[in-house]
Amino acid sequence: MKAKSPQALSTRCVHAGEARDAHGSPHTPVYTTTTFAFPSTRALLDVVEGLKPGSLYTRYGLNPTIQSLEAKLASLEGAEAALAFSSGMGAEAALFLAYGRNGIVCLGDAYGGTLELLADQLPQLGIRTTLLLGDELERLDELLADGYGLVFLETPTNPVLEIFDIQALAGKAHAHGARLAVDNTFASPVNQQPLALGADLVVHSATKYLGGHSDITAGALMGPAELVASVAGWRKNLGTAPAPETAAMLARSIRTLVVRVRQQNQNALAIAEAMERHPRIRRVLYPGLASHPGHAVAADQMSGFGGMLTIEIDADTSATSAVVDRLQLFAIAPSLGGVESLATQPVTTTHHGLSDPERERRGISGSMIRLSVGLEDAQDLIADLEQALDDPRG
């Protein structure tokens, strides 16, 4: 008998994990219940001891709405299991506490909150951390040989869109008995599948593309069931499971993930190409451009290049802020991945907390504008950027 082929991602986004109730709802209802009753002590113990699946207590994540979402999240990344969190930082914190106690190597740039957690806070708990830039990869073998147990990275990175070879780094980590965790927020599961490339665990700020409407804060972690189970206890006692209402809204948003991201891919590429031709633009950082230093690797491991790009203007920080201030369709705001387009100078938001020397070391200048491209018409967005750049006031 011919094996059934796996369903496409767009189909799984709609149907995976959904539990139909007695009234025929096509989607899992929102169970706002905090605790769940049992017909007997034996039935309760079966769930408490993990002998049978079931609902128990919402803070533990044992709530039907959350569990339904987690089945959908696992399906997105082709994972055995997933955990939903109240934020992406909640997912990262639980990941680092579960698997980073022997040492964490962070490769390349990352979200400012992640860098603060790694550089300042985890060392206070006695967890050693090392932050390596992309041009310092030759040091990775030495650190892994010294017993570091977790390699963590974003690809593409925030905000310079650096690309790392997931398969090569997974092989290097595994050769030393370490694990590789990838933050897949910028790419989304539509454009990149890190587990299929050899990563051990994947995390997301689900606030971004998975949520997609700038109306929820959530996080996710996906991977093999055994590895995910070790993170679950940290989530339970850190109290970082999402509310059922948030879980239901995230599941709603995931149903349209593929169509949203594919359109954002198209819009971002059109904008990147237009900005590359503009005389006031010093450079455009977008992995879909042949001029991007990581384009070849991105083309190999990604099926789309995402809705994020960074432009660097031939101007100082003040003049760059003036360009941002003249934008009309792009809202000036942090975050990303929503249906509306956003613009931000990383020096004012995501990486504002870094010192000037550290920003310079990471190649983050005041002339950079990070764009999160939404679902507006691409030509309207290009026109908005051009009018802001072409203003005679500078």
pLDDT of residue 359: 73
CA distance linking residue 150 with residue 313, whole number of Å: 36
Mean pLDDT of all residues in 365-383: 96
Residue 157 has pLDDT above 70, yes or no: yes
The three-state secondary structure class of 125 is helix
Mean pLDDT of all residues in 120-133: 97
Token pair in block for residue 314: 């031939």
- Among the residue ranges 39-43, 108-112, 263-267, the one predicted with the least confidence is 108-112
Active site residue 183: yes
CA distance linking residue 176 with residue 346, whole number of Å: 35
Active site residue 380: no
- 66 pLDDT band, cuts 50/70/90, is very high
Mean confidence (pLDDT) of the chain:
95
pLDDT of residue 351: 67
pLDDT of residue 254: 98
The residue to which tokens 């892994």 are assigned: 144
Task: Report CA torsion sign: 47, 53, 58, 63.
Answer: negative
pLDDT of residue 22: 81
Residue 232 has pLDDT above 90, yes or no: yes
Q: What is the pLDDT of residues 71-99, one digit of tens each?
A: 999 999 999 999 999 999 999 999 999 99
pLDDT of residue 393: 61
Q: Which of 12, 179, 208, 362 is labelled catalytic?
A: 208
Closest C-alpha among 187, 233, 192 to residue 209? 187
Q: Which of 165, 183, 200, 384 is labelled catalytic?
A: 183
Closest C-alpha among 246, 223, 336, 224 to residue 65? 246
Active site residue 208: yes
**CB-count exposure of residue 350 (10 Å: 0-12, 13-18, 19+):** buried
- Among the residue ranges 2-16, 71-85, 258-272, the one predicted with the least confidence is 2-16
Active site residue 111: yes
Q: Which of 46, 57, 59, 252 is labelled catalytic?
A: 59
Q: What is the pLDDT of residues 330-345, one digit of tens each?
A: 999 999 999 999 999 9
